[in-house]
Amino acid sequence: MSAHAAIRIFPFQSRVVSSKTPGMEKETGPAAAIREFVRWSITPPQSYAVYLICLFLVAGLSFYVGTLKPKKPIGLGPPPVSAPRN
């Protein structure tokens, strides 16, 4: 495929970004920290560890929630007389 065919397929102009173009490296704040953590965590070696940690967290929380006892309703008196008895 020639360069002219590529230009017809992709009509936008590609421009060269110089090294003097200000980047996003100087961002600060909580949004930048979260974005940097996500960028770090999706690279292959870290992504396996992040997946396993999330898997263990979901399994642990599911187990914990399953072991909770439901609270009995407060303020309800004895059942009415017309209620069936076992």
**pLDDT tens figures, 1-59:** 555 554 556 555 556 555 665 555 677 888 889 999 999 999 988 999 999 999 999 99
| DSSP for the chain, written as a single string | --HHHHHHHS-SPP-PPPTTS--STT--SHHHHHHHHHHHHTSHHHHHHHHHHHHHHHHHHHHHHHHPPPPPPSS--SPPTTS---
| Domain range annotation of the chain | 28-67
Q: What is the mean pLDDT of residues 59-63?
A: 96
Please report the pLDDT score of residue 81 as a whole number: 74
Q: What is the pLDDT of residue 86?
A: 65
Length of the chain as a residue count: 86
- Region for 28 from its dihedrals, namely left if φ exceeds 0, alpha if ψ lies in -120 to 50, beta otherwise: beta
Q: What is the pLDDT, as a whole number, of residue 16?
A: 59
